[in-house]
């Protein structure tokens, strides 16, 4: 209606000479009447409205497939995006699972490394202990090797071994004091562990007096008062090397000379002699070596 009013207004302002309506709906030549012109313009307006409706319908018809295609495209893109999101979520879940497994593996590796470190530290301590023991063993072997060249070796149990003769001597050379020959032999026969600092598990009957030959093998007449060498035979005996309490006097032997006399060792001068068995001399016992 507003459009029609505009048309009429325009027509009233212009001279009514020639009006041409597209499509041949109205055609005038010369001066036309107002009613005729209005009727023609109304018809033109209606035709225009029809054309506009058709155009609108065509536009909508043309727009619908595009919209549908766009919607389909959008839907397809959304589905692809959804699938991508699902794929991404699956990948993220897989990555998370791998990370958790890797974390568990790292923890296991750390635990194993801690165990390895602990074992290495224990092994290091053990190696140090082994080295210490080896040093001790080497030191003992060196001492043993050195002792092999010693004549007298202290056994550490109250006894001393004579490597030259193989017999065992009491370390204490003055435990019994002075006795006559019969008393000396009896005392030696009754000697055992627990007496005279003995810790050698010896029993009664193991000990005896040295023979004349054993005394002769022990006496060293290079020295006087007493006629006894030190442990490695490099000098004269001194207290504790390897014996204690050695007297520069006479010691009974187990060898008799006659029914009334027996042999003795003279540590004053370094020889042997015979003496009446009722007299008193010092006592120093021996036993078989082992």
Please give the pLDDT value at position 3.
52
Please give the pLDDT value at position 21.
44
Collect all residues with Cβ–Cβ distance below 8 Å to 269 and sequence separation of at least 6: 221, 224, 227
Q: Distance between CA 254 and CA 262 in Å, rounded?
A: 7
Q: pLDDT confidence of 36, banded at 50, 70, 90? A: confident
- The three-state secondary structure class of 172 is strand
pLDDT, tens digit, 9 for 90 and up, residues 110-127? 998 899 999 989 989 988
Is it the case that residue 18 has pLDDT exceeding 70? no
- On average, the pLDDT of the chain sits at 86
Nearest to 163 by CA among 88, 239, 229, 235: 229
Indicate yes or no: pTM above 0.85: no
Please give the pLDDT value at position 251.
98
Average pLDDT over residues 226-250: 96
> SS3 sequence, 128-169?
HHHHHHHHHHHHHHHHHHHHHCCCEEECCCCEEEECCCCCEE
Nearest to 229 by CA among 168, 289, 162: 162
27: which DSSP letter?
Answer: B
């Amino acid at each position: 209606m507003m459009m029609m009013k505009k048309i009429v207004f325009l027509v009233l302002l212009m001279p009514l000479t020639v009006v041409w309506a597209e499509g041949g709906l109205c055609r005038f030549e010369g001066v036309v009447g107002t009613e005729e012109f209005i009727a023609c313009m109304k018809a033109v307006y209606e035709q225009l409205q029809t054309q506009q409706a058709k155009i609108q319908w065509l536009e909508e018809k043309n727009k619908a497939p595009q919209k549908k295609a766009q919607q389909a495209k959008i839907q397809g893109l959304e589905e692809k995006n959804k699938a991508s999101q699902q794929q991404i979520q699956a990948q993220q879940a897989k990555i998370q699972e791998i990370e958790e497994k890797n974390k568990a593996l790292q923890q296991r590796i750390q635990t194993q490394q801690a165990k390895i470190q602990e074992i290495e530290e224990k092994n290091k301590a053990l190696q140090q202990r082994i080295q210490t023991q080896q040093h001790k063993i080497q030191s003992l072997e060196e001492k043993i090797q050195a002792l092999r060249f010693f004549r007298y070796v202290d056994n550490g149990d109250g006894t001393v071994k004579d490597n030259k003769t193989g017999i065992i001597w009491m370390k204490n050379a003055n435990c019994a004091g002075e006795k006559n020959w019969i008393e000396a032999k009896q005392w030696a026969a009754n000697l055992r562990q627990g007496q005279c600092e003995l810790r050698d598990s010896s029993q009664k009957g193991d000990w005896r007096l040295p023979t004349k030959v054993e005394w002769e093998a022990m006496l060293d007449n290079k020295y006087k008062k007493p006629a006894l060498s030190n442990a490695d035979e490099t000098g004269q005996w001194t207290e504790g090397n390897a014996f204690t309490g050695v007297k520069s006097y006479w010691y009974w032997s187990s060898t008799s000379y006659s029914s009334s006399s027996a042999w003795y060792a003279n540590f004053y001068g370094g020889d042997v002699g015979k003496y009446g068995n009722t007299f008193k001399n010092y006592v120093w016992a021996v036993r078989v070596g082992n």
